[in-house]
Structure 1
Amino acid sequence: MKNLLALITFVLISVSTSSEAKNIYADVQVTDVTPKSEYIWERANQNTPKYPVELARSGIRGCAVLSFNVSDSGETENIEILKSVPKKQLGKASRKMLKKWKWVPASTVGETQSEKRTLRLDFCMGGESTEQAQNACKQQTKLACN
Protein backbone atom coordinates (compact mmCIF):
# COMPACT_ATOMS: atom_id res chain seq x y z
CA MET A 1 0.00 0.00 0.00
CA LYS A 2 1.07 3.54 -0.57
CA ASN A 3 -1.14 5.01 2.15
CA LEU A 4 -0.26 6.11 5.66
CA LEU A 5 -0.71 2.55 6.84
CA ALA A 6 1.46 0.31 4.77
CA LEU A 7 0.44 -2.87 6.53
CA ILE A 8 -1.90 -3.97 9.32
CA THR A 9 -2.11 -7.53 10.42
CA PHE A 10 -1.50 -9.95 13.21
CA VAL A 11 0.51 -12.90 14.19
CA LEU A 12 -0.35 -15.54 16.73
CA ILE A 13 2.65 -16.61 18.73
CA SER A 14 2.78 -19.54 21.08
CA VAL A 15 5.11 -19.08 24.00
CA SER A 16 5.91 -21.85 26.40
CA THR A 17 5.44 -21.07 30.05
CA SER A 18 6.07 -23.80 32.58
CA SER A 19 4.63 -27.04 31.26
CA GLU A 20 1.79 -25.52 29.23
CA ALA A 21 1.67 -23.26 26.19
CA LYS A 22 0.05 -19.86 26.40
CA ASN A 23 -1.31 -18.08 23.34
CA ILE A 24 -0.19 -14.50 23.01
CA TYR A 25 -1.96 -12.34 20.47
CA ALA A 26 0.36 -9.91 18.74
CA ASP A 27 0.11 -7.30 16.04
CA VAL A 28 2.75 -5.50 13.98
CA GLN A 29 1.85 -2.33 12.12
CA VAL A 30 4.07 -0.58 9.62
CA THR A 31 3.43 3.11 9.00
CA ASP A 32 5.15 5.53 6.65
CA VAL A 33 6.31 8.46 8.80
CA THR A 34 6.28 10.89 5.89
CA PRO A 35 3.55 9.58 3.61
CA LYS A 36 3.32 10.80 0.06
CA SER A 37 1.13 9.93 -2.87
CA GLU A 38 3.82 8.33 -5.03
CA TYR A 39 6.59 6.02 -3.90
CA ILE A 40 9.21 4.58 -6.19
CA TRP A 41 9.42 1.30 -4.24
CA GLU A 42 7.02 -0.97 -2.35
CA ARG A 43 7.71 -4.09 -0.33
CA ALA A 44 7.96 -7.21 -2.48
CA ASN A 45 6.41 -9.34 0.26
CA GLN A 46 3.26 -7.65 1.55
CA ASN A 47 2.75 -10.36 4.18
CA THR A 48 2.84 -9.42 7.81
CA PRO A 49 6.21 -8.90 9.38
CA LYS A 50 6.44 -11.61 12.01
CA TYR A 51 6.61 -10.52 15.62
CA PRO A 52 10.16 -11.48 16.67
CA VAL A 53 10.01 -14.50 18.95
CA GLU A 54 12.74 -13.12 21.22
CA LEU A 55 10.67 -9.98 21.82
CA ALA A 56 7.50 -11.98 22.48
CA ARG A 57 9.23 -14.25 24.97
CA SER A 58 10.56 -11.19 26.81
CA GLY A 59 7.19 -9.45 26.67
CA ILE A 60 8.71 -6.49 24.81
CA ARG A 61 6.29 -4.25 22.97
CA GLY A 62 6.60 -0.70 21.73
CA CYS A 63 7.67 1.13 18.61
CA ALA A 64 10.71 1.88 16.50
CA VAL A 65 11.28 4.52 13.86
CA LEU A 66 13.84 3.65 11.20
CA SER A 67 15.29 5.61 8.31
CA PHE A 68 16.80 3.75 5.37
CA ASN A 69 17.45 3.78 1.65
CA VAL A 70 16.02 1.49 -0.96
CA SER A 71 18.77 1.07 -3.57
CA ASP A 72 18.13 1.33 -7.29
CA SER A 73 18.13 -2.48 -7.32
CA GLY A 74 15.51 -2.83 -4.55
CA GLU A 75 17.79 -3.64 -1.61
CA THR A 76 17.40 -2.15 1.88
CA GLU A 77 20.50 -0.13 2.80
CA ASN A 78 21.84 2.34 5.39
CA ILE A 79 19.32 1.49 8.11
CA GLU A 80 19.38 3.96 10.98
CA ILE A 81 17.36 3.59 14.19
CA LEU A 82 15.93 7.04 14.90
CA LYS A 83 13.84 6.02 17.92
CA SER A 84 13.22 2.82 19.82
CA VAL A 85 10.79 2.64 22.72
CA PRO A 86 11.06 1.22 25.30
CA LYS A 87 14.34 -0.56 24.69
CA LYS A 88 17.25 -0.69 22.26
CA GLN A 89 16.41 -4.37 21.81
CA LEU A 90 13.27 -3.39 19.89
CA GLY A 91 15.24 -1.15 17.52
CA LYS A 92 17.80 -3.86 16.86
CA ALA A 93 15.08 -6.43 16.11
CA SER A 94 13.37 -3.92 13.79
CA ARG A 95 16.62 -3.27 11.92
CA LYS A 96 17.22 -7.01 11.52
CA MET A 97 13.68 -7.43 10.16
CA LEU A 98 13.95 -4.49 7.77
CA LYS A 99 17.35 -5.64 6.48
CA LYS A 100 15.67 -8.74 5.00
CA TRP A 101 12.98 -6.85 3.12
CA LYS A 102 13.13 -6.74 -0.67
CA TRP A 103 11.52 -3.98 -2.69
CA VAL A 104 9.90 -3.87 -6.13
CA PRO A 105 9.06 -0.84 -8.28
CA ALA A 106 5.70 0.66 -7.31
CA SER A 107 5.08 1.56 -10.95
CA THR A 108 6.12 0.07 -14.26
CA VAL A 109 6.41 3.56 -15.70
CA GLY A 110 9.81 5.26 -15.59
CA GLU A 111 13.22 4.21 -14.35
CA THR A 112 13.92 3.04 -10.84
CA GLN A 113 16.22 5.03 -8.61
CA SER A 114 17.16 4.95 -4.95
CA GLU A 115 14.67 6.28 -2.43
CA LYS A 116 14.95 7.47 1.17
CA ARG A 117 12.21 6.11 3.46
CA THR A 118 11.27 6.45 7.12
CA LEU A 119 9.01 3.83 8.66
CA ARG A 120 7.50 3.33 12.09
CA LEU A 121 7.03 -0.24 13.28
CA ASP A 122 4.62 -0.79 16.17
CA PHE A 123 4.79 -4.05 18.10
CA CYS A 124 1.77 -4.82 20.29
CA MET A 125 0.86 -7.86 22.37
CA GLY A 126 -1.93 -8.77 24.70
CA GLY A 127 -5.64 -9.14 24.96
CA GLU A 128 -7.74 -12.22 24.62
CA SER A 129 -8.13 -12.14 20.85
CA THR A 130 -6.48 -11.05 17.65
CA GLU A 131 -8.97 -8.19 17.37
CA GLN A 132 -8.00 -6.84 20.81
CA ALA A 133 -4.31 -6.89 19.90
CA GLN A 134 -5.04 -5.14 16.59
CA ASN A 135 -7.17 -2.47 18.26
CA ALA A 136 -4.48 -1.83 20.88
CA CYS A 137 -1.90 -1.44 18.12
CA LYS A 138 -4.10 0.96 16.15
CA GLN A 139 -4.36 3.12 19.26
CA GLN A 140 -0.60 2.88 19.86
CA THR A 141 0.16 4.25 16.38
CA LYS A 142 -1.61 7.48 17.38
CA LEU A 143 0.86 8.03 20.24
CA ALA A 144 4.28 9.56 19.91
CA CYS A 145 7.11 7.05 19.66
CA ASN A 146 9.41 8.66 22.22
Structure 2
Amino acid sequence: MNTLKLIPVFLFFTSAAVLANTKTFYADVQVTDMDPTSDFIWERENKNTPKYPVELARSGIRGCAVLSFNISDSGKTENVEVINSFPKKHIGKYSRKMLKKWKWVPSATVAETTSEKRTLRLDFCMGGESTQQAEMVCKQQAKLACG
Protein backbone atom coordinates (compact mmCIF):
# COMPACT_ATOMS: atom_id res chain seq x y z
CA MET A 1 0.00 0.00 0.00
CA ASN A 2 2.86 2.42 0.70
CA THR A 3 4.21 1.79 -2.78
CA LEU A 4 1.01 3.07 -4.37
CA LYS A 5 1.24 6.33 -2.42
CA LEU A 6 4.83 6.89 -3.54
CA ILE A 7 4.08 6.63 -7.27
CA PRO A 8 2.09 9.90 -7.52
CA VAL A 9 4.76 11.71 -5.52
CA PHE A 10 7.50 10.34 -7.80
CA LEU A 11 5.55 11.36 -10.92
CA PHE A 12 5.00 14.83 -9.50
CA PHE A 13 8.73 15.37 -8.95
CA THR A 14 9.59 13.95 -12.37
CA SER A 15 7.08 16.32 -14.02
CA ALA A 16 8.41 19.28 -12.06
CA ALA A 17 11.99 18.46 -13.12
CA VAL A 18 10.96 18.21 -16.76
CA LEU A 19 9.10 21.53 -16.57
CA ALA A 20 12.07 23.23 -14.93
CA ASN A 21 14.27 22.26 -17.91
CA THR A 22 11.74 23.36 -20.55
CA LYS A 23 12.99 26.19 -22.74
CA THR A 24 10.62 28.58 -24.48
CA PHE A 25 10.84 28.60 -28.26
CA TYR A 26 9.45 31.44 -30.31
CA ALA A 27 8.27 30.66 -33.82
CA ASP A 28 6.70 32.43 -36.77
CA VAL A 29 5.23 31.49 -40.12
CA GLN A 30 5.65 34.08 -42.87
CA VAL A 31 3.24 33.97 -45.84
CA THR A 32 4.48 35.59 -49.06
CA ASP A 33 2.63 35.85 -52.38
CA MET A 34 5.12 34.92 -55.10
CA ASP A 35 3.32 37.10 -57.65
CA PRO A 36 2.37 40.14 -55.59
CA THR A 37 -0.46 42.08 -57.14
CA SER A 38 -3.31 44.19 -55.87
CA ASP A 39 -5.96 42.65 -58.11
CA PHE A 40 -6.34 39.22 -56.51
CA ILE A 41 -9.85 37.82 -56.66
CA TRP A 42 -9.52 35.98 -53.34
CA GLU A 43 -7.95 36.76 -49.96
CA ARG A 44 -7.46 34.56 -46.91
CA GLU A 45 -10.47 34.54 -44.64
CA ASN A 46 -8.24 34.29 -41.56
CA LYS A 47 -5.43 36.79 -42.00
CA ASN A 48 -3.76 35.86 -38.70
CA THR A 49 -0.31 34.33 -38.78
CA PRO A 50 -0.69 30.59 -39.40
CA LYS A 51 0.18 28.36 -36.44
CA TYR A 52 3.56 26.67 -36.48
CA PRO A 53 2.96 22.90 -36.68
CA VAL A 54 3.64 21.39 -33.25
CA GLU A 55 5.44 18.39 -34.75
CA LEU A 56 7.90 20.65 -36.57
CA ALA A 57 8.48 22.84 -33.50
CA ARG A 58 9.14 19.83 -31.25
CA SER A 59 11.72 18.54 -33.73
CA GLY A 60 13.29 21.98 -34.19
CA ILE A 61 12.56 21.88 -37.92
CA ARG A 62 12.54 25.19 -39.76
CA GLY A 63 12.57 25.94 -43.45
CA CYS A 64 10.40 27.04 -46.36
CA ALA A 65 8.05 25.81 -49.05
CA VAL A 66 6.76 27.23 -52.33
CA LEU A 67 3.30 25.97 -53.23
CA SER A 68 1.06 26.35 -56.26
CA PHE A 69 -2.70 25.91 -55.90
CA ASN A 70 -6.10 26.89 -57.20
CA ILE A 71 -8.89 28.68 -55.40
CA SER A 72 -12.25 27.48 -56.69
CA ASP A 73 -15.05 29.88 -57.60
CA SER A 74 -16.56 29.05 -54.19
CA GLY A 75 -13.36 29.91 -52.25
CA LYS A 76 -12.01 26.41 -51.61
CA THR A 77 -8.29 25.53 -51.85
CA GLU A 78 -7.71 22.88 -54.52
CA ASN A 79 -4.88 21.14 -56.42
CA VAL A 80 -2.13 22.03 -53.94
CA GLU A 81 1.31 21.24 -55.37
CA VAL A 82 4.63 21.63 -53.59
CA ILE A 83 6.98 23.28 -56.08
CA ASN A 84 9.96 23.36 -53.74
CA SER A 85 10.61 22.90 -50.03
CA PHE A 86 13.50 22.72 -47.63
CA PRO A 87 13.85 20.36 -45.87
CA LYS A 88 11.88 18.45 -48.47
CA LYS A 89 10.29 15.71 -46.41
CA HIS A 90 8.79 17.68 -43.54
CA ILE A 91 8.15 21.27 -44.58
CA GLY A 92 6.45 20.39 -47.88
CA LYS A 93 4.12 17.89 -46.20
CA TYR A 94 3.01 20.25 -43.42
CA SER A 95 2.74 23.26 -45.76
CA ARG A 96 0.45 21.35 -48.11
CA LYS A 97 -1.68 20.11 -45.21
CA MET A 98 -1.93 23.64 -43.75
CA LEU A 99 -2.83 25.29 -47.07
CA LYS A 100 -5.58 22.76 -47.84
CA LYS A 101 -7.44 23.94 -44.72
CA TRP A 102 -7.44 27.63 -45.64
CA LYS A 103 -10.71 29.30 -46.58
CA TRP A 104 -10.85 32.20 -49.03
CA VAL A 105 -13.25 35.14 -49.35
CA PRO A 106 -13.72 37.49 -52.30
CA SER A 107 -11.56 40.60 -52.28
CA ALA A 108 -13.50 43.79 -51.58
CA THR A 109 -12.54 45.20 -55.00
CA VAL A 110 -13.96 42.25 -56.99
CA ALA A 111 -17.51 42.32 -58.36
CA GLU A 112 -17.60 38.75 -59.66
CA THR A 113 -15.76 35.68 -58.35
CA THR A 114 -14.03 33.10 -60.52
CA SER A 115 -11.35 30.52 -59.85
CA GLU A 116 -7.81 31.76 -59.41
CA LYS A 117 -4.32 30.17 -59.59
CA ARG A 118 -1.88 31.28 -56.90
CA THR A 119 1.68 30.63 -55.75
CA LEU A 120 2.67 31.20 -52.12
CA ARG A 121 5.81 30.81 -50.09
CA LEU A 122 5.59 29.73 -46.47
CA ASP A 123 8.60 30.29 -44.20
CA PHE A 124 8.76 28.43 -40.90
CA CYS A 125 11.17 30.14 -38.51
CA MET A 126 12.22 29.72 -34.89
CA GLY A 127 14.54 31.85 -32.83
CA GLY A 128 15.01 34.86 -30.65
CA GLU A 129 13.79 35.70 -27.19
CA SER A 130 10.33 36.97 -28.18
CA THR A 131 7.61 36.65 -30.79
CA GLN A 132 8.84 39.90 -32.38
CA GLN A 133 12.38 38.53 -32.75
CA ALA A 134 11.03 35.34 -34.35
CA GLU A 135 9.08 37.51 -36.82
CA MET A 136 12.25 39.44 -37.70
CA VAL A 137 14.16 36.17 -38.25
CA CYS A 138 11.38 35.01 -40.55
CA LYS A 139 11.32 38.23 -42.57
CA GLN A 140 15.06 37.87 -43.15
CA GLN A 141 14.69 34.20 -44.11
CA ALA A 142 11.92 35.05 -46.60
CA LYS A 143 14.45 37.14 -48.55
CA LEU A 144 16.64 34.07 -49.19
CA ALA A 145 16.13 31.41 -51.86
CA CYS A 146 13.96 28.50 -50.77
CA GLY A 147 15.91 25.31 -51.34
Q: What is the TM-score when the length of structure 2 is the normalising length?
A: 0.84
**Distance in 2 between residues matched to 1:135 and 1:44, nearest whole Å:** 24
1:136 corresponds to which residue? 137
Q: Secondary structure at the match of 1:101?
A: coil
1:112 corresponds to which residue? 113
Matched, 1:19 2:15: no
- Structure 1 segments of 4 or more deviating over 3 A? none
Counterpart residue type for residue 36 of structure 1 = T
2:53 corresponds to which residue? 52
For each residue in 1:2-45, what CA deviation from the matched residue of structure 2 results, as whole angstroms up to 9, or x when unmatched?
xxxxxxxxxxxxxx9x7123210001100000111210000011
2:34 corresponds to which residue? 33
Stretch deviating more after TM superposition (110-119 or 99-108): 99-108
- What displacement does 1:86 show? 1.8
User: Identity of paired residues, percent?
Assistant: 75
Root-mean-square deviation (Å): 1.5
Stretch deviating more after TM superposition (100-109 or 39-48): 100-109
Matched, 1:97 2:92: no
Counterpart residue type for residue 42 of structure 1 = E
Q: Secondary structure at the match of 1:96?
A: helix
For each residue in 1:108-145, what CA deviation from the matched residue of structure 2 results, as whole angstroms up to 9, or x when unmatched?
64210000000000000012222221111111011000
Q: Secondary structure at the match of 1:22?
A: coil
Higher helix share: 2
Q: What is the TM-score when the length of structure 1 is the normalising length?
A: 0.84
**Distance in 1 between residues matched to 2:23 and 2:74, nearest whole Å:** 42
Give the number of the structure whose alpha-carbon radius of gyration is greater: 2
CA contact (8 A) 2:34 2:120 kept: yes
CA contact (8 A) 2:68 2:118 kept: yes
User: Residues 37 and 109 from structure 1, CA distance in 2 versus in 1: closer, same or farther, beyond 3 angstroms?
Assistant: closer
Higher strand share: 1
